[in-house]
Structure 1
Amino acid sequence: MDKLKIVVIGAGIGGLTAGIALKQAGYEVEIYDRIKEMRPVGAGISLWSNGVKVLNYLGLGPQIAQIGGQMNRMEYRTKTGERLNEIDLMPLIYKVGQRPYPVARRDLQTMLLEAFGGEVKLDHQCVGVEETADSVTAFFENGHQATGDLVIAADGIRSILRTYVSEQEVTPTYAGYINWNGLVAADETLAPKDCWVIYVGDGKRASLMPVGGDRFYFFLDVPLPKETPDHPETYQAELREHFRGWAMPVQVLIDRLNPYEVARPVIHDVGPIDRYVRGRVALLGDSAHATCPDMGQGGCQAMEDALVLRRYLMTTNLGVEYALKRYETERIERANAVVRKARKRAEQIHGKDPEVTQQWYDQLASEPPSDVTDAISNVILAGPLR
Structure 2
Amino acid sequence: MQIAVVGGSLAGLFTATLLTQDGHDVAVYERSLHGLEGRGAGLLGKRETFAILRAAGCEHVARVGVVARERIVFGDTGPTIDQRMPPQMQLSWDSIYRVFRKRIADGSCVLDRKVEHLREEADRVVVRFSNGSEAAVDLVIGADGIASVARAAVDGQAAANGYAGYVGWRGLVPERDLPGFAASDLLERFAYFRMPHSHVIGFLVPGPSGETETGNRRYNWVWYRPAVEPTARDEVLTDWERRIHPYSLPPGAVSAHTRDGLVDDAKRLLPRSFAAAIEATPQPFVQGIFDYETERMTSQRIALVGDAAFVVRPHTGMGIAKAAADAMALRKHLASAPLGEALQRYGRERRQAGAAIAASGRELGAHLV
1:278 corresponds in structure 2 to 299
1:215 corresponds in structure 2 to 218
Matches within 5 A, 1:249-260: 249-258=273-282
1:13 corresponds in structure 2 to 10
1:198 aligns to 2:192 (yes or no) = yes
2:250 corresponds in structure 1 to none
Structure 1 residues 243 and 295: CA distance shift in structure 2, 3 A: farther
| 1:243 Cα offset (Å) | 5.0
* CA RMSD, Structure 1 to Structure 2 (Å): 2.0
Instruction: Answer whether contact 1:81 1:199 (CA < 8 A) is retained.
Output: no
Q: Where does structure 1 lack aligned partners over 5 or more consecutive residues?
A: 91-99, 353-386
C-alpha distance in 1 between matches for 2:89 and 2:153: 35
TM-score between the two structures when normalised by the length of structure 1: 0.80
1:47 corresponds in structure 2 to 45
Corresponding letter in the other structure for 2:132: G
Matches within 5 A, 1:1-386: 4-40=1-37, 41-66=39-64, 68-78=65-75, 81-83=78-80, 87-90=84-87, 101-119=89-107, 120-186=109-175, 189-190=182-183, 191-213=185-207, 214-225=217-228, 226-229=233-236, 230=238, 231-233=254-256, 234-258=258-282, 261-271=283-293, 273-316=294-337, 319-348=338-367, 350=368, 352=369
C-alpha distance in 1 between matches for 2:106 and 2:332: 22
| 1:83 Cα offset (Å) | 1.9
Instruction: Answer whether contact 2:119 2:126 (CA < 8 A) is retained.
Output: yes
Corresponding letter in the other structure for 1:122: L
Q: Deviations over 1:47-90 (max 9, x none)?
A: 32322222122211112322x22233333322674327555214
Corresponding letter in the other structure for 1:71: A
C-alpha distance in 2 between matches for 1:341 and 1:218: 21
C-alpha distance in 2 between matches for 1:101 and 1:148: 39
Where 1:31 maps in the other structure, the secondary structure is strand
C-alpha distance in 2 between matches for 1:80 and 1:244: 17
Corresponding letter in the other structure for 1:228: E
Q: Deviations over 1:307-360 (max 9, x none)?
A: 0000001111xx212111110000000111101111111113x2x3xxxxxxxx
Corresponding letter in the other structure for 2:57: G
| 1:8 Cα offset (Å) | 0.2
Structure 1 residues 123 and 274: CA distance shift in structure 2, 3 A: same
Where 1:82 maps in the other structure, the secondary structure is strand
Where 1:227 maps in the other structure, the secondary structure is helix
Q: Deviations over 1:239-259 (max 9, x none)?
A: 42255153220121122111x
| 1:275 Cα offset (Å) | 0.4
| 1:306 Cα offset (Å) | 0.3
C-alpha distance in 1 between matches for 2:36 and 2:165: 26
2:247 corresponds in structure 1 to none
| 1:16 Cα offset (Å) | 0.4
Corresponding letter in the other structure for 1:114: K
| 1:17 Cα offset (Å) | 0.5
Instruction: Answer whether contact 2:263 2:279 (CA < 8 A) is retained.
Output: no
Structure 1 residues 193 and 85: CA distance shift in structure 2, 3 A: closer
Structure 1 residues 345 and 63: CA distance shift in structure 2, 3 A: same
Structure 1 residues 84 and 344: CA distance shift in structure 2, 3 A: farther
Following TM superposition, the consecutive aligned residue runs of length 4 or more in structure 1 with deviations greater than 4 angstroms are 84-87
Task: Compare relative contact order (CA 8 Å, sep 6+) and give the higher one, 1 or 2.
Answer: 1
C-alpha distance in 2 between matches for 1:276 and 1:36: 28
C-alpha distance in 1 between matches for 2:267 and 2:362: 24
Structure 1 residues 339 and 64: CA distance shift in structure 2, 3 A: same
